[in-house]
Chains A and B, each alone.
Chain A
Amino acid sequence: MDIVVCVRQVPEVTDAELEINKDGTEILKEDLVMDINEWDNYAVEEAVRIKEAHGGKVTVVTLGDEDSENALRISLAMGADEAILINEEGFELSDAAGIAQGIYRAVRDLSFDLLLTGAQCSDDGWAQVGVILAEFLGLPYASLVVGVEINEGTMIVRRELESNTEEKLEIPMPAVLTIQTGINNPRYVSIMGIQKVRKIEIRETDSEELGLSEEEIGLKGSSVASQKLSLPPVGEGAEILEGSLDEICEKTAQIVRDKGVI
């Protein structure tokens, strides 16, 4: 079972207060911690588990600038065997189809039974790349996967639907799956763990080597002409309770009691 996993480095925004640049085209990323995309973390874990159970090797691929190496090192520390970095800042303003095209060129000549991506990225949230890749590769696929059971040449997968419902599918291999969070419990990676894999060589490539022209990537190759970002208005909706912590909690307690359900 040879598995390719596509990962991406994204800014960690859960606890961050985001700011937007002057032109309103991008968020300011300088002060943000960069990490492997949460969905991709589950995808790497799933790949490593399948490898542990069935043998084979795991290759991780990412597309981004030099700093994206971090996402690859994390994956290697989790148990991936090889890594490919498409080192190309030109993809910065690519749409999902552009990113998928870049990855497609890098993986199309690899031999694999399974290609995994995260179901979406926490930044743009297009939720498109994995499924587009499947179409480019001409392979069967399933998105939002929360369970994989490998059989001989085929697998049973569970897809997450709405309202606590899942669907069960059978898919022949090779295939592409996009992985939903919660499918497994990703192993923890320590700094020491990353240190241990620092000598594994990362194969680098770029758009030129992949035969992609400037017209095909970045803004020029994108279906989006421009974007204007803004912060959603604060306090639209909630009445923010003010005062000391004790006063706030007293008010809260009163609101709860006034509902008369206790």
Chain B
Amino acid sequence: MSTLTSDLAQELETGRFQPDAPLPKPRRRRVKTRLGQAAMYVVLVVLLGVVLLPFIWMLSSSLKNDADVLTVPIQWIPKEFVWSNYADIWSAIPMAGYLANSALLAVVITVLQVLTGSFAAYGFSKVRFPGRDALFLAYIATIAVPWQAYMIPQYIMMQKAGLTNTFTALILLQAFSAFGVFLMRQYYMTIPDELNEAARIDGLSDYGIWARIILPLSKPALASLALLTFVNTWNDYMGPFIYLSSNELWTVQIGLRSFIGQYSAQYAMIMTGSVISIVPILVIFLAGQRYFIAGIATSGMKG
């Protein structure tokens, strides 16, 4: 690859990841900035209270007895702390197995979605061919059709293929969504076409351009796509519910709802499980944070 291409790419990468890098600020704005920062923190903390309230309820409910969860008025602090809920849930339902199943599905679907989505997005944004935009619009518009509408035709298709009660069915259904294509396409549109041109002059094929230039430059978008796909798959209930009949294949969401019986429900356990099932998402979110913060070194594109 020529120095031109790699220089352009590198400039883009470093240039992008520092949105508010220290720019010279005149002296008299420094005090205002500090006050502004303090005010910012206050706003953020208030915001925090509002967004975390239901989670606090979840947390508090997970430490109660079932009968104390849904009380009127709400008891924010449990009368007695039932720490054993966090121990019991692993034997009340095969929670570890369910977590593993959910993880499997989420990881496989996320990886496939990110790969095929970003691959297709290149075609929709960097290559021009007739009917491209119309196809893209139709693609997006199908996201609008609620799943209840085509749930049964889809199921019949899977049943005929003998794929009911398998993970494969869910993977095939969810790994090829238009959402990933859409997200990556919009991000690719912010990458200047000059880069493509330079790379083409260097002799790279489109596939090479995608793999070695475009993909590394789109880390923030890839991170956000991965995160959102993971979250959506992890929290998906109806899909696994309809397709997975065997108890061994159940995911966390099904497992948690199994505490809701016909005539009574163990809400404390449900909340315990819900709190536990949030942890992987937090881990992934925090891990992906680095793509949304300044100062990433380039991925070794020199030369």
A binds B: no
Binding site for B on A (CB under 8 A): none
Binding site for A on B (CB under 8 A): none
